[in-house]
Amino acid sequence: MLRIINIGLILILSFGTAVADSFDPFPIDIIYPKPFATIGSVDSTFIFGSVSPDRVARLEINGQNISIHEEGGFIAFLPIEPGAFEFDIMAISHTSDTIFLDWPIYVPVPGKSFAYDSLFIIDKNDFYGNLSLTEGDMLTLTIQATPGCKAYFSIPGYADSVPMAEMPPRIQPYWGEAVFGTGAVPDSMKIRGFYSGFINIDYRKLTDSTRVIYNLKAPNKDEVLSRILKEPVEFIDFELLKLLNIKGQKYESLSRVYLKINSDDFPRTLRFKDSVQIVRVGPMKGYLSIFQPEGVQAVAVGREGPWIKLRLSPDQSGWVNESSIEFLDAGWPPPRSYLKVVRCKSESDRLLIEMPLSARHVYRVEEEDQRTLRLLIYGVTSDTDWIRYDFNDDNLRLAQWSQIEPEVYCLKLCFNKPIWGYDTYYVGNTLKLQINKAPQDIDKMRDKKIVIDPGHSPDPGAIGPTGLKESKANLDIALALRKELEKKGVEVIMTREDMSDLPLYDRPKIARAADADLFISIHNNALPDGVNPFENNGVSTYYYHPHSIELARSIQSELLKGTDLNDYGLYHGNLAVNRPTQYPAVLVECAFIILPEHEAMLKTEKFQKKVARSIRKGIEKFLKEYDRE
């Protein structure tokens, strides 16, 4: 319960709102964390908010004196403890009135090893649902159980007593690292008793769903003593002796998920039904290929919950969500094409490379360097005798095919100039790779089309100590940047000009519809629980595709010169607004809105203009240095 105390008077508050008529407490407005919130499992975190600077002379949280900005904002980074935890806040007025505020949160208790005096098993596999496996798959399973025992698993009707090895103690990523640093994690923060085992799936079928059986057996006396005697004296864990109380006992547990092996459900040809499909390297894992169009076909060979495994080639698999695909009729053959000819067509603002196929195949575009692209097409075999260039094009230096795997066709394109942007799409079954040319008069700002995206709205984004919303701060900087660019003759397209709602994925659509030359998204930063904001802050810039990195570098360097803020880094970031391939795109984190000093600056026209001017200079630098070796 939140409490506020004023010299003998106790008021019960509901989420910080006073309810007494006889007492007008000076407000303490906590922005983060919210009361009763569950935060990350960390050993230190920040708390920030504001007080009335004309009424509060001193602020203490958990006994530490906290600096108050002249506008009333404050932030503290303090040690916390697992479980129910309270920040004890004391504010003292200029007239020595004192208010105490208890601010409760919950910190998840870090994991522990199981005790040695009983047998226990927990399934620790992060599967997204039931499994369907096929020949050639490897099934790896992990449990947490009583340390020092023997573990194995069985698949009824398929495999019996598959051994599981006890792994080295696991380090918990937050607890310990923040205080002790990497490599200095105490034994008390390590979890023992993780066992892992694997089995290679062969041709045999297990069509009925079944659950894996885990078995744990306590060691006998000789095994316990042998293990103890193998360790140097300083590393002996004498808790192992407790295993003697349960020697020879056994324990059995079932997996959380069911599995099928070589069922009749697979293989099966499917078709993408979403207009923009992502193929991942694993269920909910990194992106293998983005922007796959509707109608692309592939072969499904397995499943993990809602995630469908694709066989792209003998050595390459991918994963898609079942909500974005439809299975074709049983017996529908996998897509196969033999690519005979590649043809290039030059237009005023682009180079089109056309590849007629027999079906729509999964593809992947890789930027090897600033002047080299590789297009991989899965399920395609070369029959390519002809590659036709367009002699009016002066950019494509070399086009060369290779069959890098039996079912993976590779087209390598080497250019004379740095890659500006590209698009990949199907017209019928013809795959088209569109190489966008750099704008005319590349070294000048005039007549360039630049999209400015003030991040967030309708969501507020991060919120500063005195309540400044990031969505508002982003808009103020974006409007200042528009003025800077328009002075240089730039055609500016704003994704929003006010605080109106604009969904995230509509922002790149605006840029593509406008045939943008550049895309700049404006943001202001915050931090996750457990990261010290006094040591980790500044300006940072993010790109996704390699052809955007030089724009990111140029803007970051000018922001550092123009703002005098810390360098928080240049990042490759998988951010939605940076993923489109048609143009260079970056996201800029101009300041840290959760820091009182930064929040105060973000409210001023002076700082907004300073940031806008720096971004404009960064764009100018990028354009002037384009195509320089």
Please list the active-site residues.
Answer: 589
72 — alpha (psi -120 to 50), left (phi > 0) or beta?
A: left
Q: How far is CA 565 from CA 6, 65, 175, 522, 536, in A?
A: 40, 25, 30, 16, 11
State how far the Cα of 63 lies from the Cα of 358, in Å rounded to an integer. 72
State how far the Cα of 90 lies from the Cα of 76, in Å rounded to an integer. 13
Q: Name residue, tokens 């391939």.
A: 581
> Which token pair is 194?
């993780």
DSSP state of 435: E
578 touches 521 (CB < 8 A): yes
**CA 140, 142, 148, 151 torsion-angle sign:** negative
> Which token pair is 335?
């897509």
| Of 517, 496, 520, 491, residue with least CA distance to 506 | 496
Name 620's Cβ contacts closer than 8 Å, sequence gap at least 6: 445, 488
**CA 587, 589, 594, 600 torsion-angle sign:** negative
> Which token pair is 319?
């994963």
> Which token pair is 500?
């109106």
Name 366's Cβ contacts closer than 8 Å, sequence gap at least 6: 373, 374, 375, 376
453 touches 519 (CB < 8 A): yes
**CA 430, 436, 437, 440 torsion-angle sign:** positive
Helix or strand run (H / E) with residue 474: helix 470-487
| Of 438, 448, 443, residue with least CA distance to 417 | 438
| Of 269, 333, 344, residue with least CA distance to 300 | 269
State how far the Cα of 503 lies from the Cα of 447, in Å rounded to an integer. 28
State how far the Cα of 581 lies from the Cα of 584, in Å rounded to an integer. 7
DSSP state of 438: P
> Which token pair is 541?
């810039």
Name the CA radius of gyration of the chain, rounded.
30
Relative to beta strand 350-356, strand 430-436 is antiparallel
State how far the Cα of 219 lies from the Cα of 26, in Å rounded to an integer. 64
Percent of residues in the chain assigned helix, strand, coil, to nearest 5? 15, 45, 40
| Of 79, 86, 85, residue with least CA distance to 42 | 79
φ, ψ at 230 (rounded to 5°): -75, -20
State how far the Cα of 215 lies from the Cα of 164, in Å rounded to an integer. 10
State how far the Cα of 271 lies from the Cα of 321, in Å rounded to an integer. 12
AA letter at 13: L
